[in-house]
Amino acid sequence: MRVLAGFVALAALSACGGGQPPAAPPPPEVMVATPLQREVVDWDDYTGRFVAPEDVELRARVNGVITVVHFRDGQDVRKGQALFTIDPRPYRAQLMQAQAQIARAQAALNNARQVTARSRALASAQAVSAEELEANVAAERSAAADLAAGRAAASQAMLNLGFTTVRAPFSGRVSDRKVSIGDFVAEGQTVLTRVVSLNPIWFEFEGAEAFYLKNLRQDQRGERGSSRTTANPVQIQLADENEYRWNGRMAFLDNAVDPNSGTIRAHAVVPNPTGFLTPGMFGRARLLGSGSYRAMLVPDEAIVTDQTRRLVYVVSKDNKATPRVVEIGAKAEGLRIVRDGLAPTDKVILTGVGRLQPGAPVTPKAGKITPDATKQAAPTRPIDPPASGQATVQ
């Protein structure tokens, strides 16, 4: 037993002292591809609400009692459509009285003209005095003024009679009635209902000062026209939608930045022929944020973060992982735009980047970057300096 134990110990010592070291593992295999190149356009993200271009509280323009309500609450109405009738009988009587005053004043004027004509004929024969002729002329002028006053009173009476029928000032959608049949309404005080226009509709939002400055610089460089003078396209997504299916054009940019919020107001005009879009609806909008430019795209998985830097690993000529500091932009077709730091011929490492060390050898295997046109980037909040939240391939 002692001889056997010694033999085993000697064999163990021989294995430790005289054997070869274990072989190093082969370099890891990584998938590589050159960046995908596309013509893209950046879009800036905003949130806002739809508002009616015309929003009016209808008030009574004459005193009286409501006799007829011509609409159903919440229905769509046409411009000029009758909505309420205020008892017209007192105003019809006033019009008739004014018309009678016109007839009386017309008769008085005709008589005054005849008297003046006779006085002029007699005055030429020195049959009447100059004072009497002047009095007759003055009477004619007074009768003419009475006739003008009567006609003005009739016009006012006709207006008041017309105001007894309250009509929609524009096409749109009416709210509920605020009065009922039999209610007395006061001129300029009683609210009858509210009417809003729907087609087209506005999408109102506020943009950060950083975005406003960026757009001003782009306008100066000729890359993108200012929304103050250019109807830049806007695409809008509703709260329950996954795509931007509503299209509009910029129509207004305010004349000042709000010093309290650091934002500037703006709105786009959006066609709404079916009336589906309703004032007060929330929406996410993307506004054209750049001109068309050539961009390189890589998957988000190929980008790593090193504190405040973004890095992409490329394969060098001697098959080593080399980090590159890159500047990234928005997403397009499921891929991330790289604005700076990469060359079109660089072989970007697509897989296993989290385990790589700078200068580590790798075994590259040819891969391919595949875009996905169905993917939309989620809207992002502006940062300073602002980065576009999305881009589209042209």
The parts of the chain modelled with pLDDT lower than 70 are 1-24, 373-394
Instruction: List pLDDT tens digits, range 175-197.
Output: 999 999 999 999 999 999 999 99
- The C-alpha atoms of residue 28 and residue 160 are separated, in whole angstroms, by 91
- The C-alpha atoms of residue 33 and residue 118 are separated, in whole angstroms, by 112
- The C-alpha atoms of residue 151 and residue 169 are separated, in whole angstroms, by 27
Cα distances (Å, whole numbers) of residue 139 to 17, 105, 122, 123, 331: 144, 12, 17, 17, 87
Give one DSSP letter per residue of 41-72, joined into a string: EEEEEEEEEEE-S-EEEEE-SS-EEEEEE-S-
Q: The sheet that has 64-69: what strands, in order across it? A: 165-167, 82-86, 64-69, 184-185
Pairing state of beta strands 29-33 and 263-270?
Answer: unpaired
Instruction: List pLDDT tens digits, range 147-168.
Output: 999 999 999 999 999 999 999 9
Helix (H) or strand (E) holding 11: helix 2-18
At residue 143, φ and ψ (nearest 5 deg) are: -65, -40
Q: Which amino acid is at 359?
A: G
Closest CA to 382 of 245, 194, 206, 252: 206
Give the SS3 label for residue 87: coil
Helix (H) or strand (E) holding 3: helix 2-18
Beta-carbon-side half-sphere exposure of residue 287 (alpha carbons within 13 Å): 34
pLDDT at 124: 75
Handedness of CA 316, 321, 325, 331 (dihedral sign): positive
* The pair of three-digit structure tokens given for residue 332, joined into one six-digit string: 């397009």
pLDDT at 268: 96
- The C-alpha atoms of residue 330 and residue 42 are separated, in whole angstroms, by 7
pLDDT at 221: 87
Instruction: List pLDDT tens digits, range 293-341.
Output: 788 889 888 888 887 888 889 998 888 889 889 888 878 778 888 888 8
Helices vs strands, H then E, count in the chain:
4, 23
pTM: 0.70
DSSP 22: P
Q: Which amino acid is at 81?
A: Q
